[in-house]
Amino acid sequence: MSPTDAKASLYSARGLTKIYVMGEVEVPALREVDLEVAESEHIVLLGPSGSGKSTLLHMLGGMDRPSAGTLAFRGRDLTHEDDRALTLFRREHVGFVFQFYNLVPSLTALENVEMAAEIASDPIDAREVLDLVGLADRADHFPAQLSGGEQQRVAIARAVVKAPDVLLCDEPTGALDASTGILVLEVLQHVNEKLGTALIVITHNEAIGDTADRVLRMGSGRIVHEARNETPRAPSEIRW
């Protein structure tokens, strides 16, 4: 699905800035970033380590508040919301996927997914989502009984089950080998296409950029380059 100009805006960031204060040192992680994200858009964020990718993602996901600038989600100003409001925002609208899968080890695959479903207002059926990520038959396994790729797919299912409006993935394939990584990317793309969930993926792998609608390149806390893909490729087609 490619964005058109008519497509409604999901995120709108103006002069987004984040400065971490560590004792007497100030670390500017984001410097006046302007960004528009459309509904259902698929974006890949590239850039060297420390360039501010994760910081931006956390900001979009309501895990952090900006030091300056404004951030709006479907016209709702997130900049000044309190902890409780941001929690509800995450609960309703955002799905997160991390490099380390962060499954709850004491819950089975299905229960990990159900856990997110339980607190959401209008979730998808948990088994259906496990099926979507190709793990229907592993539903009753505990995380320790799953491979890395499988754990990551459970993490995706957990993020997807509440039918979020956006899926934020911080190096989701970082800890996986090539074939497993491709499998995970396919699942993500599948969710983006099938459910219309906007997808923002951070990666170190330049090639993955080819699968997105838009590629943003970051450096020193700024978006330094932006490119549109008219014909995104399927993950299986890219060279790892």
Q: Which is nearer to another protein, 58 or 214 (CB)?
A: 58
d(CA 27, CA 156): 31
Question: Is 54 a binder of Mg ion (CB under 5 A)?
Answer: yes
CB–CB of 139/171 below 8 Å?
Answer: no
Question: Nearest approach, Cβ of 58 to ligand ADP (angstroms)?
Answer: 8
196, 39 contact by CB (below 8 A): yes
Site residues (CB under 8 A) for another protein, limited to 213-232: none
Three-state secondary structure call for residue 189:
helix
AA letter at 58: H
Applying CB under 8 A, does 102 fall inside the site for another protein? Answer: yes
Under 8 Å CB-to-CB from 230, ≥6 apart: which residues? Answer: 2
In 3D space, the residue among 119, 195, 206 whose CA is nearest the CA of residue 156 turns out to be 195
Determine, following the binding rule CB under 8 A, whether residue 239 of this chain makes contact with another protein. Answer: no
By CB under 6 A, tell whether 219 contacts ligand ADP. no
| Residue selected from 6, 21, 22, 144 as contacting another protein according to rule CB under 8 A | 144
Residue 68 Cβ, how far from Mg ion at the closest point, in Å? 21
Instruction: Please list, in sequence order, all residues whose beta carbon lies within 8 angstroms of the beta carbon of residue 130, skipping any fewer than 6 positions away.
Output: 109, 110, 113, 136, 138, 139, 154, 157
Residues 34, 77, 118, 237: which binds another protein (CB under 8 A)?
A: 118
Q: Say if residues 138 and 165 touch (Cβ distance below 8 Å).
A: no
167 to 186: interface string for another protein, x by CB under 8 A = --------x-----------
Residue 84 is classified by DSSP as H
Degrees, nearest 5: CA angle 68-169-96: 80
Beta bridge partners of 222: 219
Write each residue from 23 to 62 as x if it is in contact with ligand ADP (CB under 6 A), else as -, in one continuous string: ----x-x-----------------x-xxxxxxx-------
Q: How far is the CB of 204 from ligand ADP (least distance, A)?
A: 9
Name the minimum Å distance from CB 39 to another protein. Answer: 20
CB of 221 to Mg ion, least distance (A): 12
Applying CB under 8 A, does 141 fall inside the site for another protein?
A: no
Residue 19 CA to residue 196 CA, distance in Å, equals 33
Q: How far apart are CB 110 and another protein at their closest, in Å?
A: 11
Interface ranges with ligand ADP (CB under 6 A): 20, 22, 27, 29, 47, 49-55
Interface ranges with Mg ion (CB under 5 A): 54
